Amino acid sequence: AQTVTQSQPEMSVQEAETVTLSCTYDTSESNYYLFWYKQPPSRQMILVIRQEAYKQQNATENRFSVNFQKAAKSFSLKISDSQLGDTAMYFCAFMKRLQGAQKLVFGQGTRLTINP
Amino acid sequence: DAGVTQSPTHLIKTRGQQVTLRCSPKSGHDTVSWYQQALGQGPQFIFQYYEEEERQRGNFPDRFSGHQFPNYSSELNVNALLLGDSALYLCASSKPRGGLKETQYFGPGTRLLVL
């Protein structure tokens, strides 16, 4: 079974600092996609970044980057120059193929607070 | 370009009642997935629809059913509501038959409270 584990229930940093959120996953598939989603108090789940497993290069989106270690099944998210608006729940997710359909398997989430 | 929309935003029901939640996908998307997010948890996959058919179902009882219309919008129906059905229900849409590489984009969700 595919599982996604986020070992940090909560994190808190000062504005402008860099923070890294951890995620590990378990799968027997060779090709897959990984995602980080952000869910602010408004509840809307917003895509932050995605990584294709067959690509060795780590994905980057502005202040957000990932450290993808395929052999270790690790997919951490680094937020540089953190801003107050980054305060949210962050979910790591694995895209699983299901006989012609696709579903996201989510971790439990990490609550990130950026302090002024 | 409108994103994924859901209605209503909030709903209060009592045990045993039935509820219908609605979702309109992002423009250009034809695949709709539904997720249930209990408080403090990550979302759990309920089912996915495209071409007006349920393609896959997660570990949810038959009380949960759905429908997709020709315009790709979708409904989630829950019968015989239980207290444990209280959750945020999220709809996500993705591009046509894109497979694994297609990102799912989420709506704002419907908060259901069962009393």
**In this structure, which amino acid lies at residue A55?**
K
Tell me if A47 and B48 make a contact (CB, 8 A cut-off): no
Tens-place pLDDT, residues A18-68: 999 999 999 888 778 899 999 998 888 999 999 988 888 999 999 999 999
pLDDT at B99 exceeding the cut of 90: no
DSSP collapsed to 3 states, A8-74: CCEEEEECCCCEEECCEEECCCCCCEEEEEEECCCCCCEEEEEEECCCCCCCEECCEEEEEECCCCE
Q: What is the pLDDT of residue B74?
A: 97
Cα B115 from Cα B110, distance rounded (Å): 16
Chain A residue numbers with beta carbons less than 8 Å from the beta carbon of B105 are 47
Residue B93 φ then ψ, to 5°: -120, 155
Tokens of A62: 């502005």
Tell me if B109 and A106 make a contact (CB, 8 A cut-off): no
Cα B82 from Cα B14, distance rounded (Å): 8
Chain A residue numbers with beta carbons less than 8 Å from the beta carbon of B101 are 33, 52
pLDDT at B98 exceeding the cut of 90: no
- Range B20-37 average pLDDT: 95
pLDDT at B100 exceeding the cut of 70: no
Peptide bond into B61 cis (omega under 30): no
Q: Are A80 and A65 in contact (CB under 8 A)?
A: yes
